[in-house]
Amino acid sequence: MHLDRFCVKCGKETNELIRGLCVQCHLEKNTILDVPSKAMLDYDYRSGRIKVGREWIEKSSENIEGLVKGLVLKAASQKRMNVDGLMVLLEPHDDNINAAVSFGTEVEGVMVKLEKKINLILRKAVSDATTKLSSNYFEATIQARFPENPTQKQQRERLEEILSALKAEKKRNELAEAVAVKKSRKGFDVVVASYKAADKVTRLIAKRNRLKVIYSNSLFGIDDSGRNKYRHTYCLKFSN
């Protein structure tokens, strides 16, 4: 390819010029995209979750990468710029995470490769869910019942099934946790912090075992908005 253009600063021959400058010289004088070099993240070390907006989500590599990409895309959107091939490399430390970001964007018809570094500072915080769990807060009870006195093996298998389902749900709902397990004459009760999690888990296990869910609730207070608060009970009757 014949080159008949050159950078007015360094003299490099190239057809990829931005306002008379080659890409390297242009980057030395101009900030194409202003991405924040630092960002504070509320981090609940007890639950291992970070706060994004109003939600507390797992401090996983996938979620951190999504957060960093969001910072870049937000900055690009404000300048009406397209971002191509966005990549994030994380380097975690005790109280912060370094993120190396690389991507391409077009400036006056020239594709420019950019690299940015963002330091995510983890600020210790306590989520509402952690506060509730530490005080044995609960909204629901899952009752497991058997027609006759169950063996320890039968109880253990059903309890493990319920706890396993709660653990899977906890990835989406921080209050999907058993705060207590209580023995009963014909089974046991699992006390759960979130009624939404209890409802979902109970219906999942009922479907899996072809059971009918017996549901009831009881009023136990009023919330800050003046609405009634209920505790929910879900009963599963297993066969021996």
The residue type of 212 is K
Identify how many contiguous H helices and E strands the chain contains and give both numbers: 5, 13
Q: Which helix (H) or strand (E) holds 76?
A: helix 61-78
pTM of full prediction above 0.75: no
Q: What is the pLDDT of residue 240?
A: 64
75 contacts 114 by C-beta, under 8 angstroms: no
pLDDT in tens, the chain (240 residues): 455 688 888 888 788 888 788 888 988 888 788 889 999 999 999 889 999 988 899 999 999 999 999 999 999 999 888 999 999 999 999 899 999 999 998 888 888 899 999 999 999 999 999 999 999 899 999 999 998 878 889 899 999 999 999 999 998 899 999 999 999 888 999 999 999 999 999 999 999 999 999 999 999 888 778 889 899 999 999 986
Dihedral of alpha carbons 22, 25, 29, 30, sign: positive
Phi first, then psi, for residue 59 (nearest 5°) are -85, 65
